[in-house]
Amino acid sequence: IEADFYSIQCSDWVNIVPITDDGKIILVEQFRHGIQDITFEVPGGIIAKGKTPLEAALDELEEETGHSSAEFHSLGAFHPNPAIQTNLAHLFLAKNCRPAGGQRLDELEDIEIHTVPINEIGKWVDDGRVSHCLSLAALYQVRNRFPEIGI
């Protein structure tokens, strides 16, 4: 059968589940044009040319949240939507995050930071406040690979 198929050529992405040294998950709040609404998500972004996924994770954490971590753990990589997209999303856990001098947002970013106690993140997922699939996948991977964290 012949048919037209379309794919979107996307850069690879990175998403980070940042956990502060006092046991809270850092979420970013931002407007998303696709749904014309505000979302709560884990920080992340496009991996710039020449950067490794880990380097991009370090950069995105600091840029979007103003926090840094010396303890990153890979949570693997997956295809966000292989039916139409060409890219991978690389997931990381960043433990013991601490303030590192404030956000460094891009000119098109308008991001507010929220710190959510780990024992409340399930409520945020259940009531739909966290609905971004990349954030959900990252949180699931932390719960799956690091059960001692208690997500």
Give the residue numbers annotated as catalytic, written as ranges: 107
Question: How big is the chain by its Cα radius of gyration, in Å?
Answer: 16
8 A C-beta contact, residue 19 and residue 90: no
Residue 135's φ and ψ, nearest 5 degrees, are -65, -40
Strands (DSSP E) found in the chain: 13-20, 24-32, 37-41, 44-46, 67-68, 71-78, 89-99, 112-117
C-alpha distance across the termini of the chain, in Å = 46
